[in-house]
Amino acid sequence: MEKIAGVKSILVVCMGNICRSTTAEAVLREKLKQSKLKIKVDSAGTTGYHKGDKPDPRAIRIAEEKGYKFKGIRSRKVADKDFVKCDLILASDKKNLAYLEKHCPAEHAHKLALFLPVGGVEREEIPDPYYGSVQGFKQVLEMIEQASDTIIERLKV
């Protein structure tokens, strides 16, 4: 298993920062806490449509049923400073990764990756559940949980 070297902070990115990335933030925070790894986790969106909003209520409900907490998580747009201060920046899908690649200074491009492949999940992208049913939010949570476990194992190696 390949190690993710020297990571002290992770940023998870999706489009609106109210479904996928906020769920990943909540899951990673809890799993990192349980594994006793001291790594800061944040999330952001490539758009500012929902700036300051809480995560989608469906995402909160599904994840809280499994013990994850969204306290203090609010939507925000990716900022230039994120590329400097974050050690690992994980995009939910290829479209958001392309946005990050376009805006990221060259000296920080090595920090960018897709969330699922880094997490060892066969799929490349986390589907956006926003316009779908609650089942989509459940599927996204399961994918994020599985990938988060692998990410944490890679951080520990």
**Residue 26 near residue 73 (C-beta atoms within 8 A):** yes
Q: What is the mean pLDDT of the chain?
A: 94
Active site residue 20: yes
Indicate whether 86 pLDDT > 50: yes
With CA atoms as reference, report the closest residue to 59 among 47, 48, 46, 43. 43
Residues in Cβ contact with 90 at an 8 Å cutoff, skipping those fewer than 6 apart: 10, 11, 12, 13, 24, 113, 114, 115, 118
CATH homologous superfamily of 9-151 equals Response regulator (3.40.50.2300)
User: Residue ranges of the domains in the chain?
Assistant: 9-151
- Catalytic member of 56, 82, 93, 128: 128
Whole-model pTM: value is: 0.95
Burial annotation 31-51 (CB, 10 A radius, 16+ → b, else e): bbeeeeeebebbbbbbbeebe
Active site residue 128: yes
In this predicted model, what pLDDT tens digit does every residue of 24-73 receive, in sequence order? Answer: 999 999 999 999 999 999 999 999 999 999 999 999 999 999 999 999 99
- Catalytic member of 19, 20, 29, 104: 20
